[in-house]
Amino acid sequence: MLSILIPVYNFDVRKLIHQLHQQGVLLTIPFEILCVEDASDRVYIDLNQSIQALPNVHYRVLPNNFGRSKIRNYLASLAQYPYLLFMDCDSMPVEPTYLSNYVEHLHPNRLLYGGRCYQPQAPQDAILYFHWYYGIHREQSSAKTRQKNAYQSFMTNNFLIPKSIFESIRFDETLTQYGHEDTLFGLELRDRKIPIRHLDNPLEHIGLELNFVFLKKSELAVQNLHTLHSKYSVEKEIRLLRFFIQTKRLYLHNLIIVIYFLSKNLITKNLFSHHPQLLLFDFYKLGYLIHWTKKHSKHSR
């Protein structure tokens, strides 16, 4: 009854799949694990292909990159069971009862979200510190806290959904790059009045990005946010967009652009230090959004 769906991109998933398989054989229901390499480098394919020797594990390699939304839709189309558990490949279950915790709460008319956590100890390598710090302070939270804003707290790293519900929504494949596909999916759930139950059943995020990579991905997410802003009414749900609109109404965009470019290097230096200020990161993203919007509007004329 449970299809575990894992899109894989340039990550060694052998330990994750073996642990999930060990938990799966203890379940009282049928299960399968579907892994699809989204045009990963050859070195990772050579490592990961051994998992297909495990019973109930299915492994495929895509020659062309689908992207975060399309590959999730593709995995769902391959699934044979009525419940879909989506997981990020750079994760590990915290509890040996991770799968059974989900099975205990299966319901045909609601989505389950287990959460995300990080190692409590800071990484020894300073070049990984910013991603860890951000995750601890912005992404890691209890089920009780997340349930207060159930749809805004939803992320795609670790959720279980009835296949019938997923097929009625699916991910927007026009969002081809990193960021905010979970925002749009969560809003679709809200608009369709599909309940989300938040659980304390987290996956630990083990794939910390290098500081400059995490910052670059954050910029890509802001670009996706610009796309959402132009196509959908999502301003009320996303704080960055609310600030963007408020500062535009106050005619502050030109001033913020100037400050952004004057302070960009200093802000980056702070973010990559051992004392990053997340308010500075918020300003960085606001400045980048204003800059990207102006640049995009000029090119579209």
Shared domain check, 229 and 184: no
| Whether 120 and 225 share a structural domain | no
Res 35: pLDDT? 98
The pLDDT assigned to 68 comes to 86
Give the model's pLDDT for residue 233.
64
Q: How would residue 67 be classed by pLDDT, with cut points 50, 70 and 90?
A: confident
Do 293 and 242 share a structural domain?
Answer: yes
Q: Say which CATH number the domain at 110 has.
A: 3.90.550.10
Say whether pLDDT at 243 is over 90. yes
Mean pLDDT for the stretch of residues 105-113: 96
Does 190 lie in the same domain as 121?
Answer: yes
Q: What is the pLDDT of residue 179?
A: 65
What's residue 261's pLDDT? 97
- Both 168 and 277 in one domain: the answer is no
pLDDT tens-digit map of 120-134: 999 989 999 999 999
pLDDT at 196 over 70: yes
Nearest residue to 169 via CA among 152, 153, 184, 154: 184
- Quote the pLDDT of residue 234: 64
Long-range contacts of 12-18 (CB under 8 A, 24+ apart): 12/44, 12/47, 12/48, 13/48, 13/51, 13/89, 14/47, 14/48, 14/50, 14/51, 15/92, 16/87, 16/89, 16/91, 16/92, 17/51, 17/54, 17/57, 18/51, 18/54
Does residue 144 sit in the same domain as residue 243? no
Confidence class for position 178, pLDDT limits 50, 70, 90:
low
Query: Looking at the 3D structure of the chain, how many domains does it have?
Result: 2
Mean predicted lDDT score pLDDT of the chain: 92
Identify the domain containing residue 174 by its residue range: 2-206
Residues 228 and 196 in one domain: no
Where does a domain end: 184, 206, 228? 206
Q: What is the mean pLDDT of residues 170-180?
A: 74
Q: Are residues 188 and 224 in the same domain?
A: no
Task: Please check whether residues 187 and 240 belong to one and the same domain.
Answer: no
pLDDT tens, 19-30? 999 999 999 999
Residue 52 CA: distances (Å) to CA of 46, 74, 132: 12, 19, 32
pLDDT: which is higher, 51 or 180: 51
Q: Which of 190, 206, 222 is the last residue of a domain?
A: 206
Domain boundary among 172, 206, 240: 206
Structure tokens, 22: 């060990």
Q: Are residues 161 and 217 in the same domain?
A: no
What is the per-residue pLDDT across 32-55, written as a single tens digit (0 to 9) for each? 999 999 999 999 999 999 999 999
Same domain (yes/no): 255, 271? yes
**Over residues 157-172, mean pLDDT:** 94
What's the predicted TM-score (pTM) here?
0.93
Pair (172, 259) in one structural domain: no
Q: Residue 227's pLDDT is what? A: 74
